[in-house]
Amino acid sequence: MKKFLSHTGTVLPFDRSNVDTDAILPKQYLKSISKFGFGDWLFDDLRYLDPGDVRTDCKTRRVNPDFVLNKPQYQNANILLARENFGCGSSREHAVWALSGYGIKAVIAPSFADIFYNNCFKNGVLPVALPADVVDSLFTLTAQQDTIELTVDLENCTVSYANEQSWSFTVDESRRQNLLQGHDEISITLLQQDAIQGFENNLRASEKWLFSN
């Protein structure tokens, strides 16, 4: 997993509350056995005018020109701005895979569903909870301009706009350190590989009966 220190990017304003994981990635794409390639299906039902599944070539589908993801000015946006309770619904980790696969580095919202929030940290996407009035002001900025850029700084736990405004956020310190160092739960475990091997060797020597055929 890549380290997340500080990221500056264009904001993608997704002005909806209670966005569930089925809206982020519809259920038919859970059939894919790969962790990769989900970016083409992000917000699938809103993004395209015709249905699709894992066998459909997205290049042949009609895009919805009115959906924010398809607007020209947001083609390179990688900071998602949303309303409260983002990522509610089912616990599918695939929803975060779709965000990450599309290129989303951070999601800013007033609140997140717990399981979705946890899944973000496991996949290198930073969920940032800011007060609702701050999120309102950010949506206002996006409405006043074609695009805006924000800097999300995990080292200092701040979100800043054009060196003019800055807002602080909080995050569990262990999760913060994991993202700063680019660790997920598997890589953290592998850091203890020598200790694990030593324990297994000692157990084999002291409890031989456990390993006899």
pLDDT at 164: 82
The pLDDT profile of the chain, 213 residues, written as one tens digit per residue, is 889 999 999 999 999 999 999 999 999 999 887 878 999 999 999 999 999 999 999 999 999 999 999 999 999 999 999 999 999 999 899 999 999 999 999 999 999 999 999 999 999 999 999 999 999 999 999 999 989 999 999 999 999 998 889 999 999 999 999 999 988 776 766 667 777 777 877 888 888 787 876
Enclosing H/E stretch for 13: strand 6-13
Query: What residue has token string 């002001």?
Result: 137
1 lies in some domain: no
Let me know whether 62 and 109 are in one domain: yes
Let me know whether 134 and 212 are in one domain: no
Q: Which domain holds residue 11?
A: 6-182
For residue 26, CA distances in Å to 51, 53, 108 come to: 10, 9, 22
Q: State both tokens at 135.
A: 């999120």
State the CATH number of the domain containing residue 102: 3.20.19.10
Let me know whether 101 and 200 are in one domain: no
Q: Which pTM does this prediction carry?
A: 0.88
Q: State both tokens at 42.
A: 């992000």
Please answer whether residues 52 and 58 qualify as being in contact, where contact means their C-beta atoms are separated by less than 8 angstroms.
yes
Structurally, the chain folds into a number of domains equal to: 2
Ramachandran category for residue 104: left, alpha or beta (phi over 0 → left; psi -120 to 50 → alpha): beta
Let me know whether 113 and 211 are in one domain: no
